[in-house]
Chains A and B, each alone.
Chain A
Amino acid sequence: MDWLFLDAAFTGGSRDECSAKAGGACWAVIGERLNLFTYGFYPVAERWRVNLSLVLLIFTLFPILFEKAPYRKYALHIAVAFPFVTAWLLVGGLGLTPVETDQFGGFMLTLVIGITGIGFSLPIGILLALGRQSKLPAIQIFSIGFIEFIRGVPLITLLFVASTMLNYFLPPGVTFDLLLRVLIMVTLFASAYMAEVIRGGLQAIPKGQFEAADSMGLRYWSAMRLIVLPQAMKISIPGIVNTFIGLYKDTTLVIIIGLLDPLGIGRASLADTRWTGLSTEVYLFVAIFFFISCFGMARYSQHLENKLETDHKR
């Protein structure tokens, strides 16, 4: 505690200035590098676009996560536009100055990869889980093949494939944004895990539920959407959130292929001669950021489980 706060120096221009002031932690490095940690190398003049995206994110998540949010019905419809609007804001074009994705970095990069992965892996995972149980052999074989292949390969391998090997497969001259490739790989990777988590939930649904739905004349998709999936998803919440958290933390692996996530920024900061040796402070800071996000997700999943509890076990 003393080291963290009481004996810590919060200002200063280098490590030596810090230690001259106090014997504890030197948080000045974080202060000076905060913008870098947040935005990466996103152009300073355009950072309002990142901030605006974050505000939009909060306004989009709120009605999705909380049933009691005002005007929820309309907000959910508008939420569909969120990925497109944000992508436009961050990447630019159509009237905004284009920003190359290799300038993305820091927490912003983590959020972009994490939220894209989370947002897309859930629906893809659901489709794969249903596909795996499909009666149509083509769909079933595709789903099983996809899931087992992705699960059998480490994420890092997939990221390397994304960063280097894809170029060999694509026709010459076709370039394909590195961040986009990473997003696709991370999403597919998480989808495979998601599919298996949801399959566990699907298998826990008693056969009678399917029969009741069939006997009413509900079609396959209606039965799945109205009866089977709501129950299966509820059972799967802990596993789903587990996968989310795993994916969110795995975003740090992109450092390996040269994208500067918070860890990458941290390493770059430590390479600065003025701040060498402050790895504890830097990595602690990054750890706290991840802990807050992941703990938030875990708490929300608890809240959701309690809310959806309708069994009233006697």
Chain B
Amino acid sequence: MFKWLHPLAKPETVYQLCGRLYPWLLTAALLLLLLGNIWGLAFTPPDYQQGDSYRIIHIHVPAAIMSMGAYSAMAIAAFVALVWQVKVAQWSVLAIAPIGAVYTAIALITGMAWGKPMWGTWWVWDARLTSELILLFLYLGVIALSGAFSDRQTGAKVASLLAVVGVINLPVIHFSVEWWNTLHQGASITKFAKPSIDPSMLWPLLISILAFKVLMLALICLRLRTAILVNEQHRPWVRAMAGDQ
């Protein structure tokens, strides 16, 4: 496996790989997004209880799932960066962080927009809401830390360290918030009781989740390419490429 992974430590290879993958991923993401969201927003039957409001799950749920997926991807990259000192992994931490932060923000905002008609309030200090908010703070911490050093390399390393520390802390935050909430108030309106979702609603949701995932991969490719170019701008291969075009 290492034989197969090893070329990926070389920035030039990753740059070209990302360049080849990006158009495919972007096309697939846009097609899936159109299919999943149009199907979900326009062609599924309305919910018997929530009416049309539930349709926001086609954006909310994929963003929420991928906000956590992005964090685990970032943490794995950070771990690789710290243990094996792989520079590409370091840069991908910084490439993933803003995408994850935006996904988290989308999940929070769409959740609030759904909560207003359903719960009658924009914000409840529910366990899930609170841990998602803290996840956003962790992303912002990684982004802010990476930009706080005059040396870009140090910033990337320290941000990787924070991402790894955050992943240890993530379950602690999750469970503490869950217990805190149940200690204080009975779960009445805040429970995401999911009556086994109807297949007609499930399929567009699954397609939307896949679309958000592929979109995230495409965006990571784009950002990673830029990061590689910025960090390797004095290397011969970048100069040769810039000279060619």
- Chains A and B form a bound pair: no
Chain B interface residues toward A at CB < 8 A: none
